[in-house]
Amino acid sequence: MFSTLLGPLPAIAIADIEATGIELLATGAPPAAGDEEPARVVEAWRAVTDASDRAVKQVLAGPYSAGRDGPRDRPAELAERLRATILALTEAGCPFVEIDEPDALAITLVPGERARFADAHRRLVEGLAGVHVSLALSGGNLDGADPATFFDLAYASFAFDLIAGPDNWRLIAQAPGDRGIVCGALDPAAGGDETPELLMWAAHYAASTQGRGLDRVGLANAPGLASLEPEVALRKLRRVARAATLAGTDPQAAAAELDPRAFGGRRNRPGRIRPGDDPTP
């Protein structure tokens, strides 16, 4: 069980992001584009990782979202360029690369776009080794695409926006158990729900699918905190980090921070058993 962040943030120093308790860090800057020189991307990643004691992922702009409005072969071309960047990052010791696809809804409706998406991503990640590469999908419900569109690709994990796309749970339920799942389940709106119970439910439900287990599950905000004031964005990241800690904790130990109504009316819900109680529901 771990915590991370998805999508852009307002301008916030990496030290302040680290102080929220988020375990897998990112800068919150826009993702590096396919036409950036790999050496420049590596240099920027090294500067950030040198300033932090925690693992730092590098986020790259997905070839489909970045290239879908261009020529037919544009996503494939960007994928080839991004692959060179991933190889350079791997050689530099980057442990985690995230591919950000915020504009892929067309693949749920148009078979040709689905094939274009899959071709670009196969070119991007097929045969890579020595680095964890994750595909982040946001912007809406993508369950209209065949699950094989995603899970036939050689990604180690997938991050789903479950606020803009609640039906993405249908995809999570079909994701192979050896793939990681990051639940983007914290509302990005300034006044949105930040309670830990919903995040913990998301973590445990994802862990229950296909025998995945909590070791292959992460929690994150739903993408898009850039429009918030920095202090609000940081508060939301603190909520994510704390919920991830609670999700990996024994329920009895976590009970003091949770609304007992979240566990139903049973007498043996967390925090309710006392010495001498009958634990039978």
> Which pLDDT value is given to residue 264?
53
> Which pLDDT value is given to residue 224?
87
The CATH label, of 3.30.110.70, 3.20.20.210, 3.40.50.300, 3.30.1600.10, for the domain at 2-260 is 3.20.20.210
Q: What angle do CA 155, 160, 164 make, to 5 degrees?
A: 155
Could you give phi then psi for residue 83, rounded to 5 degrees? -60, -40
Compute CA 209 distance to the chain's CA centroid, rounded to the nearest angstrom. 17
The pLDDT mean for the chain works out to: 92
> Which pLDDT value is given to residue 191?
94
For the whole model, what pTM was predicted?
0.91
Residues of the chain below pLDDT 70: 251, 262-281
Cβ atoms of 199 and 178 closer than 8 Å: no
Nearest to 175 by CA among 202, 199, 207, 198: 207
- Can you give the residue ranges of every domain in the chain? 2-260
Question: Locate tokens 């102080």: which residue?
Answer: 19
Q: What angle do CA 141, 24, 77 make, to 5 degrees?
A: 55
The one-letter code for the residue type at 142 is L
Compute CA 21 distance to the chain's CA centroid, rounded to the nearest angstrom. 16
> Which pLDDT value is given to residue 250?
76
Burial class (CB in 10 A: 0-12, 13-18, 19+), 64: buried
> Which pLDDT value is given to residue 271?
43
Q: How far apart, in whole angstroms, are the C-alpha atoms of residue 173 and residue 175?
A: 6
> Which pLDDT value is given to residue 274?
38
> Which pLDDT value is given to residue 262?
61
Cβ atoms of 254 and 246 closer than 8 Å: yes
Cβ atoms of 23 and 54 closer than 8 Å: yes
